[in-house]
């Protein structure tokens, strides 16, 4: 596919009193347009993920389109949690490749921190899991972590390695919310949330906005920034939760990653840097397995010895991730992928980064997506 | 203080909750493809048939995975923490969420055998929970 990301925009992140999801979306688009050197009038596609505090829900595309004064010929809103940014990248790529749109702005904005989103709801339809006290996104990942520990011997110390690596990377990122370095001991001393997950296994809850603009590689080459090519992108889903015996291990992540690799014509060994969805530390370990960087069950051992830190064999979440940069449901993972491939990351730059894998996962472990991005 | 969530009894799930009230665990079994299914659903997610019976199951299974809540996500569980939630795999195949009773949280293990017990919560609702079973 000859499609590229031509501009990215990220607002201030963290605790932003008075900010609204809509206002943050508009600001993110303004920044992405400036980054791309595009005029608003050139944007003819608009895809959005409604923020968790956006009351309009799936009509977010209307409100944002109105606020931006756009008349898009391709638009939609989609809620697939932490997979949404990458799924919208896929849709935008299809739209550009087919000629349905020339330039598609993909946008997320949320005031989850100041708006009080707690991500604590019970999952399941009908007879809610809450009957048995089963609440929160953390608990779903805690089930995965416990079974992973049982089957493969994964340890809490290995989970800590993920948290420490993300925090170390965030310390090199001036835009990150949590920059004070942490140690494995800090992780082990943090309070238990849903055993086996501790506080430092959990992502932040954040306010912020993110946007990126997708256009053809040809058009992107005429712009001010080095384009970043979308070589491959894929999604895979398991709408069944406990009705699927393999649900806990989210094997659809592997299907999504393989689709992205196949479309890109590359293999895991070709990837220089990875932005792996980290709502909880265990998710990075499982993604390492599903993205083919190690075998099933070996993700815990893989993160040891600084392998996923800057300078390691596979730097992961180089901006700090959901765990330490900001919880933008994976949208900042796409932005960081673009910035690494442009070589703009200063102290946290991965030297010679030409290929980046970005992954996302959302809802009740249901939705997975992955993309291979390349220096254009 | 908010009450703990209870199931909303509907035509679709009433046979499940009537069975637990009588000390039985019954799940839907598709008459077309013979598969047990859970969560409760109007049609079979495998063959899409609407034709199902409510078949009694053994109530025996194994703890597939478990977690222990320390964080209070719902005020009605404030005095319960730390409490466990388990994902049980029934011998017949389906997975269910539940709690293991009669044993300390620190004694929970993946794959430990369990068997169903019934705990009356209201006149209408009796919850299936599980207790450890001797090794088998």
CA B89/CA B66 separation, integer angstroms:
11
Q: Mean pLDDT, to the nearest integer, of A301-307?
A: 98
Residues of B in contact with A198 (CB under 8 A): none
Taking phi first (over 0 means left), then psi (-120 to 50 degrees means alpha), and beta for anything else, what does residue A14 get? left
If you search the block for the tokens 């994964």, which residue do you land on? A154
CA A263/CA A260 separation, integer angstroms:
5
Task: Read off the pLDDT of residues A175-226 as tens digits, 9 standing for 90 and up.
Answer: 999 999 999 999 999 999 999 999 999 999 999 999 999 999 999 998 888 9
- pLDDT over threshold 80, residue A348: yes
Q: Within 10 Å of residue A295's Cβ, how many Cβ atoms?
A: 12
* Residue A112 DSSP SS3: helix
- Say yes or no for a CB contact (<8 Å) between B66 and A120: no
> If contacts are CB pairs under 8 Å, which of residues 37-56 in chain A contact chain B?
none
Tell whether pTM > 0.90.
yes
Residues of B in contact with A191 (CB under 8 A): 70
Element (H, E) at A190: none
Does residue A242 belong to the interface with chain B, where contact is any CB pair within 8 Å? yes
**Which tokens in the block code for residue A273?**
């840097």
| 0.85 surpassed by complex ipTM | yes
- Say yes or no for a CB contact (<8 Å) between A139 and B67: yes
Q: Within 10 Å of residue A325's Cβ, how many Cβ atoms?
A: 33
- pLDDT over threshold 60, residue A1: no
CA B61/CA A287 separation, integer angstroms:
29
CA A226/CA A143 separation, integer angstroms:
42
Q: What is the widest separation between alpha-carbon atoms in chain B?
A: 46
Domains identified in chain A and CATH numbers:
3-117+206-228 (3.40.47.10), 134-202+233-375 (3.40.47.10)
- Say yes or no for a CB contact (<8 Å) between B39 and A242: yes
């Amino acid at each position: 596919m000859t499609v590229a990301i031509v501009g990215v925009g990220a607002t201030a992140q963290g605790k932003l009193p008075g900010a609204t999801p809509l206002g943050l979306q508009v600001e993110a688009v303004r920044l992405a347009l400036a980054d791309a050197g595009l005029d608003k009038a050139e944007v003819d596609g608009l895809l959005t993920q409604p923020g968790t505090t956006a009351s309009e829900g799936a009509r977010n595309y209307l409100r944002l389109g109105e606020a931006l004064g756009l008349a898009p010929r391709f638009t939609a809103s989609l809620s697939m949690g932490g997979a949404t940014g990458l799924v919208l990248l896929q849709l935008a790529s299809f739209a550009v490749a087919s000629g349905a749109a020339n330039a598609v702005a993909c946008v997320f904005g949320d005031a989850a921190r100041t708006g009080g989103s707690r991500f604590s709801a019970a999952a399941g339809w009908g007879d809610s899991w809450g009957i048995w006290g089963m609440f929160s996104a953390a608990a779903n990942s805690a089930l995965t972590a416990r079974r992973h520990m049982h089957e493969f011997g994964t340890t809490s110390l290995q989970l800590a390695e993920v948290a420490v690596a993300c925090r170390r990377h965030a310390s090199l990122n001036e835009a990150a919310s949590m920059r004070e370095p942490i140690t494995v001991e800090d992780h082990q001393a943090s309070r238990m949330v849903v055993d086996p997950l501790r506080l430092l296994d959990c992502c932040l809850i954040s306010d912020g906005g993110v946007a990126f603009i997708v256009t053809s590689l040809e058009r992107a080459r005429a712009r001010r920034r080095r384009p970043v090519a979308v070589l491959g992108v894929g999604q895979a889903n398991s709408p069944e939760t406990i009705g699927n015996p393999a649900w806990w291990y989210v094997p659809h992540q592997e299907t999504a990653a393989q689709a992205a690799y196949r479309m890109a014509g590359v293999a895991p060994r070709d990837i220089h840097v990875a932005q792996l969805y980290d709502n909880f530390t265990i998710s990075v370990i499982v993604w390492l397995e599903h993205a083919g960087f190690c075998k099933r069950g070996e993700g815990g051992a893989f993160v040891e010895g600084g392998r996923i830190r800057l300078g390691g064999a596979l730097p992961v979440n180089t901006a700090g991730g959901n765990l330490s940069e900001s919880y933008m449901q994976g949208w900042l993972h796409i932005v960081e992928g673009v910035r690494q491939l442009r070589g703009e990351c200063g102290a946290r730059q991965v030297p010679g980064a030409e290929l980046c894998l970005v992954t996302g996962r959302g809802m009740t472990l249901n939705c997975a997506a992955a993309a291979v991005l390349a220096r254009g | 203080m908010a009450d703990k969530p209870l199931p909303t009894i509907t035509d679709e799930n009433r046979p499940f909750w009537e069975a637990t009230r009588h000390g039985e665990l019954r799940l839907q079994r598709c008459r077309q493809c013979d598969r047990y299914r859970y969560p409760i659903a109007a049609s079979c997610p495998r063959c899409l048939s609407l034709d199902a019976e409510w078949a009694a199951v053994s109530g025996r299974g194994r703890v597939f995975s478990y977690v222990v809540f320390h964080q209070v996500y719902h005020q009605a569980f404030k005095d319960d923490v730390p409490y466990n939630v388990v994902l049980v795999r029934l011998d017949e195949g389906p997975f269910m969420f539940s709690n293991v009773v009669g044993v300390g949280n620190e004694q929970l293990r993946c794959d430990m055998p369990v068997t169903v017990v019934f705990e009356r919560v209201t006149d209408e609702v009796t919850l299936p929970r599980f207790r450890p079973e001797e090794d088998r």
